[in-house]
Structure 1
Amino acid sequence: MKEYTMMMNRRRFLYAAATGAAMLSRTSNLRAAGYDLIIRGGRVVDPSLGIDGVRDVVVVGGRIAAVEENVKADAAEILDARGRLVVPGLIDVHCHAAQSNDAPQLVLLDGVTSYLDAGTYGADGIDQAAARVKAGPNFGRLLINISRIGVDNQKGELHDLNLVDVDLARAAIARNRDVVIGIKARLSNRFTGANDLEALRRAQEAARPFGLPVMVHIGQSYSPLPAILSLLKRGDVITHVYAPDPNGIFDDSGRVLPQVLAARRRGIQFDFGNGTLDHFNWEMFERGVKQGFIPDTISTDWDGPKTRTTNVVDLPNVMSKFLMLGLSLRDVIARVTVNSARAFAAFSDRGTLNVGAPADVTVLDLREGAFQFQDDYKVVRTGSQRLFPIAAVVGGKKTPERS
């Protein structure tokens, strides 16, 4: 066994050496001939690398080749980003962009180069959703709804536990393991009635053989939040973190519940999930920020073209709400790039402009002025800055700009 291990290690070493030499040779030839794309002169903000300054981003073969000042070289294509922000491709970890064939393209126009469809479909529709995601222009992945019928905003998908079939969910995951990366359970009372904890237990049971995380939608749940948190494991995600009472993250005195703080310490992730109905109000948002309980990730809960006419608009607009409440630009960008990449292993090579990473890049405009932002209850606040999507690059290719 020892000799076999040594032989395998030697083979791996030789393979790595040969691969490295081939890559070096290819890179040298490409450098001699010029680059595929250079994004010139933008303010590069990449929290994963600690970069905040004017740089050129160089792309070769669909990968980041360099992030440097004043690159002296030609490229097949130039993207002029002077006066704009250049950031790792935005990752939206809670949207519903697998609902139609054109939805992935629509979120890409918003600067979202990677997305996670958070439980639109259950076992009955997940195969079609997986095909749609694979055909899309950006990098998409799926959470499967623990209810076989998926989202049902009219009747609620978890009122009938006969729809929560663990074996059916497991089979659907196994068929689509390349794109299904977790399970979703919407635990608001109107979707579950008294079934919330049992539905969550079944979601965990379905996830267990695959080692997958479970994302739980909270807000106005039947059961107290501590009971829900007790069923979560490291790597699971709470979304709609600032959902109003009953059964939100705050106690009767307005302080973050100790069970919520303990959950974060043991590795539970917390996501914003803007949404349009009962998912946050300014009071809860501001209370959380003042206490330093900031979500790990910022997401939209995007729900089709109509989203642009709601308080969501797009991911850059949702990001701007955090700027209004005092987060730094770097902290906001981290929550839609590197933090999102860490939250889900499928995105682990994204959310960064590190050399060798997939060349997913978003160009944003940070404008000064008086901008109105709404919560889910149509209460308006005015901020002095807003981010706008300008352009995106996916796998080293420029994508159509939003009109």
Structure 2
Amino acid sequence: MAMNRRRFLYAAAAGAALFSRMPDLRAAGYDLIVRGGRVIDPSLGIDGVRDVAVAGGRIAAVQENIGADAAEIIDARGKLVVPGLIDIHCHAAAAKDGPSLVLRDGVTSYNDAGSYGADGIDQAAAVVKRGPNFGRLLVNISRIGIDIQQGELHDLSLADVDLARAAISRNRDVVVGVKVRLSNNVTGANDLEALRRAQEAASSFGLPVMVHIGQSYSPLPAILSLLKRGDMITHVYAPAPNGILDDSGRILPEVLAARRRGILFDFGNGTLAHFNWDVFERAVKQGFVADTISTDWVGAQSRTTNVVDLPNVMSKFLMFGLPLIDVIAHVTVNSARAIHAFSDRGTLNVGAPADIAVLDLREGSFQFMDNYNGIRTGRQRLFPIATVIGGKKAPDRA
């Protein structure tokens, strides 16, 4: 399938300059080598059998048949070796052992998308800082964070801009944006004002806003009109009312215009009315593929839903014909470009942090589910096999 955003997909080549100033790590010897896997790195245009060597917590070499020994060897023959996966929309900071659980899925970097507002962001920041992987946070514009039962923005007084600004200021090292959920059951008629307040808080720091769409009170074009370059729409394939398709199933012109002016679109698999196969298929057939693939993972219970893990969610795009290298790009280089804090991640470039995911691409008959119990069958599925974080092998998933 031809991609319509290759400039965004492979803009990472410019990132090579970031690492050109790094010392030659090969001189220090290797701590770990991942041997013999099919290395796929969209940022470098690599798709072939290589060894990946690590020294001092950084990528030291990506070459055929590295002859040196290392303190630890990972045999990746017959497997995929890719940059550590970035889940740009999950809720790992709010889940018990969330960061360590997603790490075992190959997720070396994650973005907790608004689990907490101003009232709880300090707690979330502490979780991020002590986690084994690289985590960042979006602060929810509602001071109470996500309220699944009642909806956190029916009372607009909870969308307190001053409190949000103070929360960001206190945690500027880990807060990378503002989140606002705009479904009707979350906001009612308050959606556009809640978004305006989210923008007001974010703009003080030059940060993006991530907007959860799906069955909103206001039409999507009204929401899009309030977004700036670098902002993100998540749950892009949410069904009507007020999704990305018009009544005839075509992509709204306002959606296409938003993409042209730099608005990013994230998948956000989730479980509650966030996508169905009909919208997914219609959009992809029109060439409208999400910029980033994410899970909306909420904890160990996600294993028993249609989410399972990020490799499973990636496999849904393989089922619709997206090339494997593009699917990898959607969880590595694309996510790294979407949020500046991840700009040195999502690559196996020499000098980059040694974050690596080893995946198994299995052939067979696999069932994939949307948020409405709709089932489609695909012939390929990705499974997490091993993860390296900062040059050290993480515990395997049970």
Q: TM (normalized to structure 2)?
A: 0.94
Q: How does 1:157-236 map to 2 (within 5 A)?
A: 157-236=152-231
Any idea what SS the aligned residue of 1:35 has? Answer: coil
Task: Determine the C-alpha separation between the residues in 1 that align with 2:69 and 2:271.
Answer: 46
Q: How does 1:306-345 map to 2 (within 5 A)?
A: 306-345=301-340
Task: Determine the C-alpha separation between the residues in 1 that align with 2:396 and 2:343.
Answer: 26
The question of 1:99 aligning with 2:94 is answered yes
The question of 1:115 aligning with 2:102 is answered no
Equivalent of residue 45 in structure 1, options 40, 46, 71: 40
Any idea what SS the aligned residue of 2:51 has? Answer: strand
- Who is 1:13 aligned against? none
Structure 1 contact 101–132 (Cα < 8 Å) conserved: no
Question: 1:100 Cα deviation (Å)?
Answer: 3.5
Question: 1:153 Cα deviation (Å)?
Answer: 0.6
Task: Determine the C-alpha separation between the residues in 2 that align with 1:116 and 1:140.
Answer: 6
Task: Determine the C-alpha separation between the residues in 2 that align with 1:395 and 1:99.
Answer: 23
The question of 1:245 aligning with 2:237 is answered no
Structure 2 contact 96–299 (Cα < 8 Å) conserved: no
Counterpart of 2:64 in structure 1: which amino acid?
E
Task: Determine the C-alpha separation between the residues in 2 that align with 1:348 and 1:139.
Answer: 12
Structure 2 contact 154–186 (Cα < 8 Å) conserved: yes
Equivalent of residue 370 in structure 1, options 346, 365, 371: 365
Task: Determine the C-alpha separation between the residues in 1 that align with 2:21 and 2:287.
Answer: 45
Task: Determine the C-alpha separation between the residues in 2 that align with 1:380 and 1:238.
Answer: 25
Unaligned runs of 5+ in 2: 1-19
Q: How does 1:50-65 map to 2 (within 5 A)?
A: 50-65=45-60
- Deviation sequence 1:170-221 (CA, Å, 0-9, x none): 0000000000000000000000000000000000000111000000000000
The question of 1:283 aligning with 2:278 is answered yes
- Who is 1:12 aligned against? none
Question: 1:152 Cα deviation (Å)?
Answer: 0.2
- Deviation sequence 1:263-322 (CA, Å, 0-9, x none): 000000000000001000000000011000000000000011100000000000000000
Task: Determine the C-alpha separation between the residues in 2 that align with 1:207 and 1:364.
Answer: 36
Q: How does 1:249-264 map to 2 (within 5 A)?
A: 249-264=244-259
Question: 1:20 Cα deviation (Å)?
Answer: 6.8
Change (3 A) 1:101 1:154: closer
Counterpart of 1:77 in structure 2: which amino acid?
E
Counterpart of 1:401 in structure 2: which amino acid?
D
Question: 1:135 Cα deviation (Å)?
Answer: 0.3
- Deviation sequence 1:234-259 (CA, Å, 0-9, x none): 00000000000000001111110000
Question: 1:74 Cα deviation (Å)?
Answer: 1.0
Counterpart of 2:83 in structure 1: which amino acid?
P
Any idea what SS the aligned residue of 2:100 has? Answer: helix
Any idea what SS the aligned residue of 2:177 has? Answer: strand
The question of 1:131 aligning with 2:126 is answered yes
Task: Determine the C-alpha separation between the residues in 1 that align with 2:319 and 2:164.
Answer: 41
Any idea what SS the aligned residue of 1:154 has? Answer: coil
Hey, which bits of structure 1, 4+ residues long, moved more than 3 A?
none
Task: Determine the C-alpha separation between the residues in 1 that align with 2:69 and 2:378.
Answer: 40
- Who is 2:382 aligned against? 387
Any idea what SS the aligned residue of 1:152 has? Answer: coil
- Who is 2:14 aligned against? none
Bigger RCO (CA 8 Å, 6+ sep) = 2
CA RMSD of aligned residues (A): 1.2
Task: Determine the C-alpha separation between the residues in 2 that align with 1:309 and 1:371.
Answer: 15
Unaligned runs of 5+ in 1: 1-18
- Who is 2:15 aligned against? none
The question of 1:301 aligning with 2:258 is answered no
- Deviation sequence 1:72-120 (CA, Å, 0-9, x none): 1011111110000000000000000001451100111111000000000
Counterpart of 2:238 in structure 1: which amino acid?
A
- Who is 1:16 aligned against? none
Counterpart of 2:264 in structure 1: which amino acid?
Q
Counterpart of 2:328 in structure 1: which amino acid?
I
Structure 1 contact 100–132 (Cα < 8 Å) conserved: no
- Who is 2:73 aligned against? 78
Task: Determine the C-alpha separation between the residues in 2 that align with 1:180 and 1:20.
Answer: 27
- Who is 2:6 aligned against? none
The share of aligned pairs that are identical, in percent, is 79
Question: 1:383 Cα deviation (Å)?
Answer: 0.5
Q: How many aligned positions are there?
A: 379
Task: Determine the C-alpha separation between the residues in 1 that align with 2:67 and 2:151.
Answer: 58
Any idea what SS the aligned residue of 2:68 has? Answer: coil
